[in-house]
Amino acid sequence: MRILAIETSCDETGVAVVDDGRHIVSNIVASQLAHQDTGGIVPEVAAREHLRALDGITQQALNVAGVELRAVDAVAATVGPGLVGCLLVGANYGRGLALAAGLPFIGVNHLEGHVYANWLYEGDAPTPEPEVPAVVLIVSGAHSDLVLMEGHRRFRPLGRTIDDAAGEAFDKVGRLLGLGFPGGPAIERVARDGDPAAFPLPRAALSAYDFSFSGLKTAVLRLVRVLEAKGEVPVADVAASFQKAITEVLAEKTARAAAEHAVETVLLGGGVAANLALRAEIQKRIGHPLRVPPPRLCTDNGAMIGAAAFFVLRDRGTEVPVSVRSDMKLA
Ligand code: KG4
Ligand code: ZN
């Protein structure tokens, strides 16, 4: 089963060819550089950029895979959650391709994509499939969800952020420290030279599995203002202290979820899962195997949509009628 998959929910235009939900045949991702100037994503600009990029990137994905459109078995695209204009561009483009080539179209939940990124491999040697049930932490620019995956496509929400997403907190602190957008990778880089114990920062105490990051963000803002007034902001120390605070909270709740449910594995997904400090914090708290996609499969890409689409098709056995939903939840 060979699927051509399209991801346009936010600011990455991704198209991939994926076999049997696991093997990446090609995976082209174009990040929209336009947003670096504005320091954040402007939805209309993002939608227009997807429209402009999609044809070329789709062609590239097919070329790299060495296949023509009629040689694939289905076309998939993200239908939510995400920016509605962006979702519409990718979903309509995918539906158009499917219609023209007489192929089934599969609408995919972006969050399922982040989960199923853990099933992907490149090259000739398949990685072992992650074992379920699993506890899954999805941490991205828009989401911080702790989920129990009871089986394929069977998800039970455990907790989520009540305010900012983890990636959003990284991005806001990154901007505050003058590190540009997106803030996550930049904070991780400069934090390597910083002291994570330099500044005490709050860890919000909430119900077992929910997160809150807006208090932490405000505390960093206040700290930076105080340091500025003193004349110098030790950026590496602030970044390291912030990263320590946020990764500890994420890790503690993930580890608690793993301890309190009978699961085989802990899976991570979403852009923030690329963060090595987060992985280390989680790994040292759990006895389970920890699975994390390689960094370029943690951030948004088409391959993860191709992986999730395979399991949708296997599950439903037919094409899935879809309309775009910006606030789509994990089933
Ligand atoms: O999954 P993703 O590409 O897009 C969404 O679905 O939102 O995640 C993007 C987010 C951004 O907030 C970015 O700052 C964050 O992931 N991110 C990281 C790292 N790489 C990306 N955060 C922390 N450490 C990283 N290495
Ligand atoms: Zn994402």
Phi and psi dihedrals of 8, rounded to 5?
Answer: -140, 30
Quick one: which atom of ligand 1 is closest to the CA of 183?
14
| 204, 250 Cβ separation under 8 angstroms | no
pLDDT band at residue 299 under the 50/70/90 scheme: very high
Quick one: which atom of ligand 1 is closest to the CA of 277?
24
- What is the distance between the alpha carbons of residues 247 and 252, in angstroms, rounded to a whole number? 8
Query: What average pLDDT score do residues 80-103 get?
Result: 96
Give the β-pairing of 134-139 and 265-269: parallel
* Least confident window among 154-158, 204-208, 209-213: 204-208
Q: Hey, whose CA ends up nearest to atom 13 of ligand 1? A: 184
> Which of 87, 272, 297, 300 has most ligand 1 atoms within 8 Å of its beta carbon, as the pocket-test mutant?
272
Whether the CB of 43 sits within 6 Å of ligand 1: no
Query: What average pLDDT score do residues 274-300 get?
Result: 96
Whether the CB of 196 sits within 6 Å of ligand 1: no
Percent of the chain predicted with pLDDT > 70: 97
pLDDT at position 269 is 98
Quick one: which atom of ligand 1 is closest to the CA of 274?
26
Whether the CB of 185 sits within 6 Å of ligand 1: yes
> Which of 140, 177, 330 has most ligand 1 atoms within 8 Å of its beta carbon, as the pocket-test mutant?
140
Q: How far is the CA of 234 from the centre of ligand 1 (A)?
A: 23
Whether the CB of 181 sits within 6 Å of ligand 1: no
Q: How far is the CA of 245 from the centre of ligand 2 (A)?
A: 22
Query: What average pLDDT score do residues 218-236 get?
Result: 96
Inform me whether the pLDDT recorded for 315 exceeds 90: no
pLDDT tens-digit series, residues 30-61: 987 666 666 677 888 889 999 999 999 999 99
Query: What average pLDDT score do residues 257-269 get?
Result: 97
Q: How far is the CA of 138 from the centre of ligand 2 (A)?
A: 9
Inform me whether the pLDDT recorded for 170 exceeds 80: yes
pLDDT at position 322 is 77
Quick one: which atom of ligand 1 is closest to the CA of 167?
12
Q: Which residues surround ligand 2, an ion (CB under 5 A)?
A: 140, 300
Percent of the chain predicted with pLDDT > 90: 88
Whether the CB of 170 sits within 6 Å of ligand 1: yes
Closest CA relative to residue 46, chosen from 4, 69, 13: 13
* Least confident window among 51-60, 108-117, 183-192, 317-326: 317-326
pLDDT at position 44 is 85
Phi and psi dihedrals of 218, rounded to 5?
Answer: -65, -40
Q: How far is the CA of 183 from the centre of ligand 1 (A)?
A: 8
Stated length of the chain: 331
* Least confident window among 38-52, 63-77, 111-125: 38-52
Quick one: which atom of ligand 1 is closest to the CA of 140?
8
Whether the CB of 213 sits within 6 Å of ligand 1: no
pLDDT at position 34 is 61
Phi and psi dihedrals of 217, rounded to 5?
Answer: -60, -45
User: Hey, CA dihedral for 121, 124, 127, 128, is it positive or negative?
Assistant: positive
pLDDT at position 39 is 64
User: Hey, CA dihedral for 8, 325, 267, 126, is it positive or negative?
Assistant: negative
pLDDT at position 110 is 96
Whether the CB of 169 sits within 6 Å of ligand 1: no
* Least confident window among 10-19, 280-289, 318-327: 318-327
pLDDT tens-digit series, residues 270-279: 999 999 999 9
